[in-house]
Amino acid sequence: MFKNILVPIHLEYKKNHKKLFEGAFNVLNKENGKITLFNVNENSVHPEIDIMFDENQQIEYELNALKELKEIAANYSLPMGKISFIVKDGVAHQEILKQAEKMKADAIVMMATKPGVSSYFISSTAERVVRHTDCSIFIIRLK
């Protein structure tokens, strides 16, 4: 079992969170394992959105995202003693990889949608993480 799991979470796909958390806790070392819920704010990556946010709005967005991560954890009765929360700005797959390395994650548990035509030309976040991570990765397939 794994002791240090990174769980990237998209705040808008709430209906998928239960399955994601079940997957993470299935591979977590129950005695001394920890899970980090991780959200990436990609607003700064998109120039048309980034110019609409000033520094105060960016800080407010990150505080709201952190608050929402904590609410999600509480709604699913996740054991708060085993959970930490991080919000970063950037490109999702790059930030996931950086955070996994920084925290020395031994596993990443993340969601992925069923591939469509577009993912054959432009890789999904999960595919990019799978290709470049050094730790074990579990993909929770969603419908």
For 13-51, the pLDDT digits (tens) are 888 899 999 999 999 999 999 999 999 988 766 555 555
CA neighbor of 15 nearest in space, from 60, 72, 69: 72
CA neighbor of 36 nearest in space, from 17, 9, 58, 61: 9
Which H/E stretch holds residue 64?
Answer: helix 55-75
88 within 8 A of 42, measured Cβ to Cβ: no
Cα separation, 90 vs 21, whole angstroms:
24
User: For residue 13, what pLDDT is reported?
Assistant: 81
pLDDT tens digit sequence for 64-112 = 999 999 999 999 999 999 999 999 988 999 999 999 999 999 999 998 8
Higher per-residue confidence, 69 vs 119: 69
pTM of the model: 0.88
How crowded is residue 21: how many other Cβ atoms within 10 Å of its Cβ? 22
Residue 130 binned pLDDT confidence (cut-offs 50, 70, 90): very high
Higher per-residue confidence, 63 vs 49: 63
